[in-house]
Structure 1
Amino acid sequence: MFEDRPDREEVVLVGRSNVGKSTIMRALTGHSKITTGRKPGVTRSPNHFDWVAEKFMFTDLPGFGFMSGVEKQRREQIKTDVVRYIEDNADDILAGVLVVDGKAAVDIIDRHSGPDEVPHDVELFEFLWDLDIPTIVAVNKMDKVDDRDDRLDALCDRLGLYPPWQQWRETIAPISAKRGDIGALDEALGATFTDQKRDDLLKFVS
């Protein structure tokens, strides 16, 4: 179980391992010392980034799903801890950002869909919505995607959102974090903060 959470409102980043959550965290905060790595599972406990004068933070939660070299029991424990963290702190979570790999997400979801299986990404998206946490899907690595609109429409379809994706701009945010292109995520977070009458937080996404 994750310990020592600062007493602040937050935006949480969740998603599979190796989809670029820590890179997005660096782009959002401008903080270059956040650890990223080629090896999945670099983030093993919540990585909080806060500001001394603010009661607000971004939190990068550990990645879940398959991780090379990490046994199944440990992977399941990480997922359980992530879910419990979100449940326990839902009242202080201003937004949940589900990060997916734009090129691979639809294929991964399809591969893990079946009569007895709900893909992790779909499950987490629905879980955040069920907790009434405003949810944004940051579709990362879009610079590697050729069929952009088709791919985003297919992702919407898998998440239970009616295509075209363009009508979900406050929910679907296509980005390329490694290139510093996170404007769509900034806009979606800004709209969420405005909806919550938290214009004091807009400085963090502008």
Structure 2
Amino acid sequence: MFENRPNCSDEVILVGRSNVGKSTLMRELTGHSFETGGKPGVTRSPNHYDWSGDDFMITDLPGFGFMSGVPDDAREQIKTDIVRYVEDNAENILVGILVLDGKSAVDIIDRHSGEDEIPHDVEMFHFLRDVGIPTVVAVNKMDKVDDEDDRLNDICDRLGLYPPWKQWQDTIAPMTAKRGSIGSLEDAVCGHLEDAKRDDLKKFF
């Protein structure tokens, strides 16, 4: 499922837990609908969207973490496949977008923080950065959060970024994909494209 990568040299990827709104965000970015479901784990293989004539695509990678009705070994395999895909294509990935559910991310991270356990979201954030991919954390569903600044500061803290979050606007992007409110994410991604001297790709964001 992961072998059918289109022959595009440059790409932006979306990663994150199941059911955080990656497919909805993909639709906002591309104007193209992908299969989404109320049940976690609908996307099992990468969704690639490329523009004819441009050597560029956006890829929505499958969700990781808990998926109802999906056995543990299958979940682990999906995570392994995501890591391998990112490693294999790291030099072509201009930006990695880690999508979090702003309402539940802190609780989930805290629930899975232990002596011998690193929460998936935290692990994925550091993994992307370790392989040299500029990373933006898209904190989705912010319309359901009352104390926005406190929540974003808590997320920074869990990711090892020193709060306040406003000093990380190239990294932390609060948004609500379902309402099309993704301006802060687009700004952050465009900043990284500028850094990569790829202003020609900003038209997609």
For the superposition of Structure 1 and Structure 2, which TM-score range results when normalised by the shorter chain? over 0.9
1:27 maps to what in 2?
28
**Structure 1 counterpart of 2:151, one-letter code:** R
1:41 maps to what in 2?
41
Alpha-carbon shift at residue 3 of structure 1 (Å): 1.1
Alpha-carbon shift at residue 153 of structure 1 (Å): 0.1
Secondary structure (helix, strand or coil) at the match of 2:139 reads: strand
**Structure 1 counterpart of 2:71, one-letter code:** E
Instruction: For 2:91 and 2:195, locate their aligned partners in 1 and report how far apart those are by CA, in whole Å.
Output: 16
Instruction: For 2:184 and 2:31, locate their aligned partners in 1 and report how far apart those are by CA, in whole Å.
Output: 17
Question: Moved runs in structure 1, 4+ residues, more than 2 A?
Answer: none
1:17 maps to what in 2?
18
1:65 maps to what in 2?
65
Instruction: For 2:116 and 2:202, locate their aligned partners in 1 and report how far apart those are by CA, in whole Å.
Output: 42
1:7 maps to what in 2?
7
**Structure 2 counterpart of 1:120, one-letter code:** H
1:101 maps to what in 2?
101
Alpha-carbon shift at residue 26 of structure 1 (Å): 0.3
Could you state the TM-score of these two structures normalised by the residue count of structure 1? Answer: 0.98
The CA deviation string for residues 28-87 of structure 1, in whole angstroms up to 9 with x for no partner, is 1111x2111111111010000001101000000000000011011100000000000000
**Structure 2 counterpart of 1:67, one-letter code:** M
Alpha-carbon shift at residue 4 of structure 1 (Å): 1.2
**Structure 2 counterpart of 1:97, one-letter code:** I
Give the 5 Å matches for 1:95-134.
Answer: 95-134=95-134
**Structure 2 counterpart of 1:184, one-letter code:** S
Instruction: For 1:50 and 1:130, locate their aligned partners in 2 and report how far apart those are by CA, in whole Å.
Output: 26
Matched, 1:76 2:76: yes
Secondary structure (helix, strand or coil) at the match of 2:59 reads: strand
Give the 5 Å matches for 1:120-199.
Answer: 120-199=120-199
Q: Structure 2 unaligned runs (5+)? A: none
**Structure 2 counterpart of 1:2, one-letter code:** F
Secondary structure (helix, strand or coil) at the match of 2:125 reads: helix
Alpha-carbon shift at residue 118 of structure 1 (Å): 0.3
Secondary structure (helix, strand or coil) at the match of 1:80 reads: helix
Alpha-carbon shift at residue 7 of structure 1 (Å): 1.9
Instruction: For 2:82 and 2:202, locate their aligned partners in 1 and report how far apart those are by CA, in whole Å.
Output: 26
Could you state the TM-score of these two structures normalised by the residue count of structure 2? Answer: 0.98
Instruction: For 1:4 and 1:75, locate their aligned partners in 2 and report how far apart those are by CA, in whole Å.
Output: 20
**Structure 1 counterpart of 2:137, one-letter code:** V
- Percent same amino acid among aligned pairs? 71
Matched, 1:54 2:65: no
Instruction: For 2:35 and 2:181, locate their aligned partners in 1 and report how far apart those are by CA, in whole Å.
Output: 19
Q: CA RMSD in A?
A: 0.7
Number of aligned pairs? 204
